[in-house]
A = this chain, B = another copy of it.
Protein backbone atom coordinates (compact mmCIF):
# COMPACT_ATOMS: atom_id res chain seq x y z
CA UNK A 1 0.00 0.00 0.00
CA UNK A 2 2.80 2.41 0.80
CA UNK A 3 4.60 3.73 -2.22
CA UNK A 4 8.10 4.84 -1.38
CA UNK A 5 9.00 5.74 -4.94
CA UNK A 6 8.57 9.44 -4.28
CA UNK A 7 11.38 11.41 -2.79
CA UNK A 8 11.85 11.43 0.95
CA UNK A 9 10.87 14.74 2.58
CA UNK A 10 13.30 15.41 5.43
CA UNK A 11 11.91 16.60 8.75
CA UNK A 12 14.76 19.12 8.93
CA UNK A 13 13.50 20.89 5.84
CA UNK A 14 9.79 20.15 6.21
CA UNK A 15 7.93 23.40 5.51
CA UNK A 16 4.92 22.45 7.61
CA UNK A 17 6.72 21.23 10.74
CA UNK A 18 6.26 24.69 12.26
CA UNK A 19 2.48 24.15 12.10
CA UNK A 20 2.69 20.73 13.74
CA UNK A 21 3.09 19.24 17.18
CA UNK A 22 6.75 18.66 16.24
CA UNK A 23 7.37 22.42 16.06
CA UNK A 24 9.05 22.55 19.45
CA UNK A 25 11.44 19.67 18.75
CA UNK A 26 15.14 20.45 19.25
CA UNK A 27 17.65 19.66 16.49
CA UNK A 28 18.58 16.28 17.97
CA UNK A 29 14.99 15.21 18.22
CA UNK A 30 14.28 16.36 14.67
CA UNK A 31 17.22 14.31 13.41
CA UNK A 32 16.00 11.28 15.33
CA UNK A 33 12.46 11.76 14.02
CA UNK A 34 13.80 11.96 10.49
CA UNK A 35 15.63 8.64 10.95
CA UNK A 36 12.58 6.89 12.34
CA UNK A 37 9.86 8.08 10.01
CA UNK A 38 9.10 6.78 6.56
CA UNK A 39 7.62 8.81 3.77
CA UNK A 40 4.97 7.86 1.26
CA UNK A 41 2.94 9.22 -1.62
CA UNK A 42 -0.81 8.67 -1.58
CA UNK A 43 -3.08 8.81 -4.61
CA UNK A 44 -6.47 10.43 -4.45
CA UNK A 45 -8.96 8.18 -2.60
CA UNK A 46 -6.18 5.97 -1.24
CA UNK A 47 -6.83 4.85 2.33
CA UNK A 48 -4.45 5.57 5.24
CA UNK A 49 -6.22 3.29 7.67
CA UNK A 50 -9.53 1.53 8.01
CA UNK A 51 -12.09 1.28 10.79
CA UNK A 52 -11.60 -2.04 12.57
CA UNK A 53 -7.91 -2.55 11.80
CA UNK A 54 -5.21 -2.25 14.42
CA UNK A 55 -3.07 0.90 14.48
CA UNK A 56 0.64 0.39 13.83
CA UNK A 57 1.69 4.03 14.02
CA UNK A 58 0.70 7.61 13.30
CA UNK A 59 0.54 9.62 10.09
CA UNK A 60 1.82 13.15 9.61
CA UNK A 61 0.57 15.08 6.61
CA UNK A 62 3.26 16.88 4.65
CA UNK A 63 1.12 17.75 1.64
CA UNK A 64 -2.58 17.35 0.83
CA UNK A 65 -5.86 16.84 2.66
CA UNK A 66 -7.23 13.78 4.38
CA UNK A 67 -10.77 12.97 5.47
CA UNK A 68 -11.40 11.16 8.74
CA UNK A 69 -14.79 9.48 8.91
CA UNK A 70 -16.97 6.82 10.45
CA UNK A 71 -19.61 4.72 8.73
CA UNK A 72 -23.18 4.49 9.95
CA UNK A 73 -25.38 1.43 9.75
CA UNK A 74 -26.02 1.46 6.02
CA UNK A 75 -22.42 2.35 5.22
CA UNK A 76 -23.09 6.07 4.86
CA UNK A 77 -20.01 8.09 5.74
CA UNK A 78 -19.98 10.72 8.46
CA UNK A 79 -16.95 12.96 8.13
CA UNK A 80 -15.52 13.87 11.53
CA UNK A 81 -12.57 15.95 10.42
CA UNK A 82 -10.71 17.19 7.36
CA UNK A 83 -7.00 17.20 8.19
CA UNK A 84 -4.45 19.30 6.34
CA UNK A 85 -0.72 19.99 6.19
CA UNK A 86 1.10 19.60 9.51
CA UNK A 87 -1.61 17.57 11.18
CA UNK A 88 -0.97 14.23 12.86
CA UNK A 89 -3.58 11.58 12.19
CA UNK A 90 -4.45 8.44 14.10
CA UNK A 91 -2.69 9.09 17.38
CA UNK A 92 -5.91 8.72 19.39
CA UNK A 93 -6.00 4.98 18.79
CA UNK A 94 -2.38 4.72 19.87
CA UNK A 95 -3.29 4.75 23.56
CA UNK A 96 -6.42 2.68 23.72
CA UNK A 97 -5.11 -0.66 22.46
CA UNK A 98 -8.33 -0.93 20.50
CA UNK A 99 -8.74 -1.05 16.73
CA UNK A 100 -9.50 2.13 14.82
CA UNK A 101 -13.05 3.39 15.23
CA UNK A 102 -12.66 5.72 12.25
CA UNK A 103 -11.20 5.50 8.76
CA UNK A 104 -8.95 7.95 6.90
CA UNK A 105 -8.64 8.52 3.15
CA UNK A 106 -6.58 10.91 1.02
CA UNK A 107 -8.84 13.49 -0.65
CA UNK A 108 -6.19 14.45 -3.19
CA UNK A 109 -2.58 13.55 -3.97
CA UNK A 110 -0.74 13.56 -0.65
CA UNK A 111 2.71 13.21 0.86
CA UNK A 112 2.31 11.58 4.22
CA UNK A 113 4.96 10.44 6.70
CA UNK A 114 4.56 7.48 9.01
CA UNK A 115 5.93 7.04 12.53
CA UNK A 116 5.79 3.57 14.04
CA UNK A 117 3.78 3.10 17.23
CA UNK A 118 6.85 2.12 19.24
CA UNK A 119 8.78 5.24 18.26
CA UNK A 120 5.77 7.48 18.80
CA UNK A 121 5.04 6.09 22.27
CA UNK A 122 8.69 6.47 23.13
CA UNK A 123 8.49 10.16 22.22
CA UNK A 124 5.41 10.51 24.43
CA UNK A 125 7.19 8.94 27.38
CA UNK A 126 10.44 10.84 27.09
CA UNK A 127 9.50 14.23 25.69
CA UNK A 128 7.34 16.09 28.18
CA UNK A 129 6.51 19.10 26.05
CA UNK A 130 5.56 16.88 23.11
CA UNK A 131 3.40 14.81 25.42
CA UNK A 132 1.71 17.91 26.75
CA UNK A 133 1.09 19.03 23.19
CA UNK A 134 -0.58 15.71 22.38
CA UNK A 135 -2.71 15.87 25.52
CA UNK A 136 -3.70 19.45 24.71
CA UNK A 137 -4.69 18.31 21.24
CA UNK A 138 -6.74 15.40 22.60
CA UNK A 139 -8.58 17.75 24.97
CA UNK A 140 -9.19 20.34 22.31
CA UNK A 141 -10.69 17.79 19.95
CA UNK A 142 -12.82 16.42 22.72
CA UNK A 143 -14.48 19.77 23.30
CA UNK A 144 -14.76 20.38 19.55
CA UNK A 145 -16.68 17.15 19.26
CA UNK A 146 -18.98 18.12 22.12
CA UNK A 147 -19.83 21.25 20.15
CA UNK A 148 -20.22 19.19 16.96
CA UNK A 149 -22.72 16.92 18.75
CA UNK A 150 -24.66 19.95 19.98
CA UNK A 151 -24.74 21.46 16.51
CA UNK A 152 -26.01 18.21 15.05
CA UNK A 153 -28.75 18.01 17.67
CA UNK A 154 -29.89 21.62 17.68
CA UNK A 155 -29.01 23.41 14.47
CA UNK A 156 -30.79 23.27 11.13
CA UNK A 157 -28.98 21.86 8.10
CA UNK A 158 -28.61 25.42 6.82
CA UNK A 159 -26.84 26.53 10.00
CA UNK A 160 -24.67 23.42 10.03
CA UNK A 161 -23.57 24.04 6.46
CA UNK A 162 -22.44 27.51 7.47
CA UNK A 163 -20.49 26.02 10.40
CA UNK A 164 -18.82 23.44 8.19
CA UNK A 165 -17.86 26.01 5.55
CA UNK A 166 -16.21 28.13 8.24
CA UNK A 167 -14.26 25.14 9.52
CA UNK A 168 -13.20 24.27 5.97
CA UNK A 169 -12.14 27.86 5.37
CA UNK A 170 -9.56 27.36 8.14
CA UNK A 171 -8.40 24.02 6.77
CA UNK A 172 -8.06 25.15 3.15
CA UNK A 173 -6.67 28.58 4.08
CA UNK A 174 -5.84 30.46 0.84
CA UNK A 175 -6.87 27.52 -1.34
CA UNK A 176 -10.43 27.07 -2.53
CA UNK A 177 -12.49 24.45 -0.72
CA UNK A 178 -12.31 21.33 -2.85
CA UNK A 179 -14.70 18.57 -1.84
CA UNK A 180 -17.36 16.62 -3.68
CA UNK A 181 -20.95 17.54 -2.86
CA UNK A 182 -21.32 14.10 -1.35
CA UNK A 183 -18.36 14.59 1.02
CA UNK A 184 -19.70 18.00 1.99
CA UNK A 185 -23.12 16.46 2.68
CA UNK A 186 -21.48 13.71 4.74
CA UNK A 187 -19.69 16.34 6.80
CA UNK A 188 -22.81 18.45 7.38
CA UNK A 189 -24.86 15.34 8.02
CA UNK A 190 -27.50 15.72 5.32
CA UNK A 191 -28.60 14.29 1.97
CA UNK A 192 -26.54 15.24 -1.08
CA UNK A 193 -29.60 16.76 -2.79
CA UNK A 194 -30.34 18.97 0.20
CA UNK A 195 -26.73 20.12 0.29
CA UNK A 196 -26.77 21.04 -3.39
CA UNK A 197 -29.94 23.09 -2.97
CA UNK A 198 -28.55 24.91 0.06
CA UNK A 199 -25.27 25.64 -1.70
CA UNK A 200 -27.25 27.23 -4.49
CA UNK A 201 -29.11 29.37 -1.95
CA UNK A 202 -25.81 30.43 -0.38
CA UNK A 203 -24.54 31.40 -3.82
CA UNK A 204 -27.66 33.45 -4.56
CA UNK A 205 -27.31 35.13 -1.16
CA UNK A 206 -23.76 36.15 -2.01
CA UNK A 207 -22.16 34.00 0.66
CA UNK A 208 -20.09 31.72 -1.58
CA UNK A 209 -18.87 31.47 -5.14
CA UNK A 210 -19.06 28.15 -6.93
CA UNK A 211 -16.40 27.22 -9.49
CA UNK A 212 -17.69 23.84 -10.63
CA UNK A 213 -16.60 21.82 -7.61
CA UNK A 214 -14.42 24.38 -5.90
CA UNK A 215 -15.91 26.80 -3.40
CA UNK A 216 -14.87 30.28 -2.39
CA UNK A 217 -16.24 31.99 0.68
CA UNK A 218 -16.92 35.59 -0.25
CA UNK A 219 -18.90 36.71 2.80
CA UNK A 220 -17.39 35.18 5.91
CA UNK A 221 -19.23 37.52 8.27
CA UNK A 222 -22.51 36.49 6.71
CA UNK A 223 -21.67 32.84 7.30
CA UNK A 224 -20.63 33.52 10.90
CA UNK A 225 -23.94 35.27 11.51
CA UNK A 226 -25.82 32.38 9.93
CA UNK A 227 -23.87 29.71 11.80
CA UNK A 228 -24.56 31.39 15.11
CA UNK A 229 -21.52 30.31 17.13
Contact = CB atoms under 8 A, between A and B. Distances in A.
A80 interface: yes
A128 to B, nearest CB: 7
Copies in the complex: 2
A229 interface: yes
Contacts of A148: 145, 149
Contact of A149 (B74, B80, B139, B190): B80
A143 B102 contact: yes
B142 A138 contact: yes
Nearest to A125: B128
A146 B70 contact: yes
B70 A147 contact: yes
B150 A72 contact: yes
Contacts of A70: 146-147, 149-150
Contacts of A132: 95
Nearest to A145: B145
Interface in A57-111: 70-74, 76, 78, 80, 92-98, 101-102
Interface of A: 70-74, 76, 78, 80, 92-98, 101-102, 125, 128, 132, 135-136, 138-143, 145-155, 189-190, 228-229
6 contacts: A73-B228, A74-B154, A95-B132, A135-B138, A138-B138, A149-B149
